[in-house]
Structure formats: structure tokens, C-alpha cells
Amino acid sequence: METTGRKHRWKGSGRGRTIAAIAAAFLIAGAATAGAAKLITGADVKNGSLTGKDIKDGSITQKDVKNGTLKTADLSANALRALIAYEGENWSIVDRNVIGNGDSYLRAGPFEPPMGIGSLGIRTGSPDDAAAFGNQVDFLNDLVADITTLGYSVYTTQENIDEALNNLPSIRFEIDPNLDGVASNFSTMTFVPDAVLPGAWMEIDATTTGMWGLTGAAGPATGCDLNLTLCTWDDLQTALDDGGDAAAILTVQFGKGRDFAFSGAVDQLVINAQTFDFEPNGVFTSP
């Protein structure tokens, strides 16, 4: 130790401070490295705390999204338009099947339809009225036996149910039944749905629920008579398969009447791989 004036200094104290600083730096670096070794996981993040600002723009790709989780509400209007195709030119009121004040019209709502913002409104003012809306072109000569998936969504009210529990629109196929021993080449294959709850959109599977019947001579010939004894979908298919030419479709329609007054709507018609969306500006199909 050297004495210089009134102060005492350690010899080589500058080098000592340098060594101490370097050691401290290594300790800090080591601590940082140890902290970095622990990766941040979902357990370290509070649920609901991350926002869009925390995610780098363009960093989320298709592989980051679970298949089947996105809904139409998650897509932009342009993306939705790219997924649908206009099919409205062959969908319209079937005037020859309209009676009295029966009416059908493309409309907005009611409430939140299962597809888009619109639906097909159907109204009959009395038991004497009938409404019909369908396609008389695109299904011509398709085979009844080739239908494997068939259904739609319906919106009804308590007022309709007060008339009758299953007071609902039905799917109707005008067909050529091609039955041996039956001279008539025309029948309307009509679905009679089961009752559904009012005040909400309800899905109906026309192949596993409800009953079916045929009009004209084909009814008693098959035992699936709309005015007498109804059949399940499977029984109807069996009855039409009599070993001769297959039953062929002429038209596809939504119909109501003549039975009870009704005011409601239908949407999301599914026929095999096609889904038909009824909107205020037309009928569209989506994959």
C-alpha cells in the first residue's frame, strides 16, 4: 500500500475495477441468456389480453387457421361474392300453381337467415290460396333415385302453428313416375314436414324426417298417396323403383296450400351437393 497525502489508494485499483465490471457484464449476459432459453407459451399469456396490434400484419396464414372454423361472418363481402354463383335466371314464381292470394317473393330477413341476409318469403292468406316458387329448367330429367341429400331451413310463427302444428311450406317435385301399369306420366311428389319450433330458423332434413306422398294415379299405385297413406323417403324410393324406367324430375318447387293460412320464409335449400341461397337480389349457389 502506498501513502499519497491524506488519501490511501490500493495499487492497481483501476485494473481491479475493470475486472469487476467485466465480471458483472458476464453475469448479466448469462442471466439474459438463461431467461431467453425459456420460450413464451400460451400459459404465459393472459386469455383475452392479446389484440390485433400484437400480431404482425400478414403473419397469419392458412395453415394457422383450423379447418372448418371460419364462418361467413368472418369473410369480407368480396370474398363471399367470390364463393357464390348467381342462379336466379331459372328460379321464379310458378304461376300455374298459384291460386288466389298465394304469394312468394325474395326478401330480406326475417331476423338472421342461415345464409346471407335474405330468404324466400311465402304467404297464403286463407285455406283457399296456394303459393309456388321453383325451378322448371335446371332439374329436368334428373332421376329421383339420384337424390341422396335433401333439406331446407324454415322460419315460422306461433300464428302459423295455431292453425296446425305442421303448417309449413313443403318441397314439391313434379315428376314423371314412369310406373308400369299407370298411364299417367305426371305426379307431384310432396313432402309433408314435421312440426318445428316458431320464432327461429329451423333446419329440416327431408330424407330422415317428415313424410311423402304422390298425387294422381301414382299415389294409390305405390301406396304413397298424398291424400290417403303417406310414406317415408326410403319407402317412397322403393315404391317408385318398380323395375321399369326410373322416375324422372320435371320441376323443383317450394309450395304452400291449399290448407291453412301461412306467413313465413324458407332458405338454404340443399339438393345433393348444391346449396341454394335465397337473397333479395336473386338465388345463388355455394359450394
Q: How do residues 175-199 score in pLDDT, each as one tens digit?
A: 999 999 999 999 999 999 999 999 9
Dihedral of alpha carbons 42, 45, 50, 53, sign: negative
Q: Given this model, what pLDDT does residue 246 score?
A: 97
Check residues 282 and 8 and name the one with the higher pLDDT.
282
In a domain, 4, yes or no: no
In a domain, 35, yes or no: no
Q: Given this model, what pLDDT does residue 28 score?
A: 55
List the CATH number of the domain containing 228: 2.60.120
In whole angstroms, give the CA distance from residue 12 to residue 221.
118
In whole angstroms, give the CA distance from residue 44 to residue 28.
23
In a domain, 256, yes or no: yes
Count of the separate structural domains present in the chain = 1
In whole angstroms, give the CA distance from residue 258 to residue 46.
60
Q: Given this model, what pLDDT does residue 55 score?
A: 79
In a domain, 44, yes or no: no
Q: How do residues 55-113 score in pLDDT, each as one tens digit?
A: 787 777 777 788 767 766 677 755 655 556 777 789 999 999 999 999 999 999 999 99
In a domain, 7, yes or no: no
Grid cell listed for 21: 465490471
Residue 246's domain spans which residues? 78-286
The full DSSP string for 77-144 is HHHHHHH-EE-GGGEEE-GGG-BTT-EEEEEE-SSS-SSSSEEEEEEESSTT-BEEEEESSTTTT-BG
Q: Given this model, what pLDDT does residue 59 score?
A: 78
In a domain, 11, yes or no: no
In a domain, 141, yes or no: yes
